[in-house]
Amino acid sequence: MFAVSFWGYDLGKQIVGAVSPIGPDGLSTGQLAAAGFLSAIPMTAITAPFERVKVILQVQGQKQLAPGEKPKYSGGLDVVRQLYREGGLRSVFRGSVATLARDGPGSAAYFAAYEVIKKALSPKDPVTGKPTGQLSLTAVTCAGAGAGVAMWIPVFPVDTVKSRLQTAEGHVSIGGVIRELYGKGGYKAFFPGFGPALTRAVPANAATFLGVELAHQAMNKMFGPK
């Protein structure tokens, strides 16, 4: 997922640079956000069916079984087989639109926030006064942590709707899920587990960007800079 996401982001920057002018300081924050949004398109094609299987198994694992009762699904492949039998590929890919609605804005905020924080933490060139881009590993970690928080804050309600949509039985719609959630608990119903999600986002995304930057350095040493 992350391999496709960062590849999509690089491709998104190329597309944005090809269709809009680039300023002397490089891509603007809006252009970086647009590139981040574009990165979510190929990623959604991969993540949507995997997340559908994941949330189904997670919900099944939380269900109390009666004595002698067996779970409906025996594993990930069994989930895919039964979903396909029930509704074909459309059933397997249910929630793809909701996934893109989450990952598009989320990725836009994710990558834009990372670049903005990187620029703010980057030491300035003594001659030009512009950021050098030479960040310490600590600064990279902080930028990654901030990017993770920036990603989740605007899209968490969408993630809640997506998960409910993907685990619902029968034919349901996004509008129906939203009405059901709001009817049961108002706006608070869209934010279950918000605190733990942000707590997880800090170390997870700090480690992600740290790994990416270290991988870039290693690749540049092995194959030369791009």
Nearest by Cα to 166 from 45, 47, 55, 46 = 55
Domain boundaries, the chain: 2-223
pLDDT in tens, 159-218: 999 888 888 877 788 899 999 999 999 999 999 999 999 999 999 999 999 999 999 889
Three-class SS state of 124: strand
Angstrom CA distances, 45 to 6, 27, 197, stand at 15, 27, 23
**CA–CA gap between residue 123 and residue 71 (Å, rounded):** 56
Q: Is the pLDDT of residue 225 over 70?
A: no
**Predicted pLDDT at 170:** 75
Look at the domain 2-223 and name its fold: Mitochondrial carrier fold (1.50.40)
Contact yes or no for 143/114 (Cβ under 8 A): yes
**Predicted pLDDT at 65:** 79
Report, as an integer, the average pLDDT of 117-128: 84
SS (H, E, C) 56-74: HHHHHHHCCCCCCCCCCCC
**CA–CA gap between residue 108 and residue 29 (Å, rounded):** 10
pLDDT in tens, 21-58: 998 888 999 999 999 999 999 999 888 899 889 989 98
pTM: 0.82
Question: CB pairs under 8 A, 24+ apart, for 155-159?
Answer: 155/102, 155/103, 155/105, 155/106, 155/109, 156/190, 156/191, 156/194, 156/197, 157/190, 157/191, 158/98, 158/101, 158/102, 158/105, 159/102
CB-based contacts of 14, cutoff 8 Å, min separation 6:
none
**Predicted pLDDT at 64:** 80
Token readout for 39 is: 């990165």
Confidence of residue 226 (pLDDT cuts 50, 70, 90): low
Q: Please indicate whether residue 130 or residue 82 has the higher confidence score (pLDDT).
A: 82
Handedness of CA 76, 106, 150, 33 (dihedral sign): positive
pLDDT in tens, 58-79: 888 877 878 888 888 989 999 9
pLDDT in tens, 85-99: 988 988 889 888 888
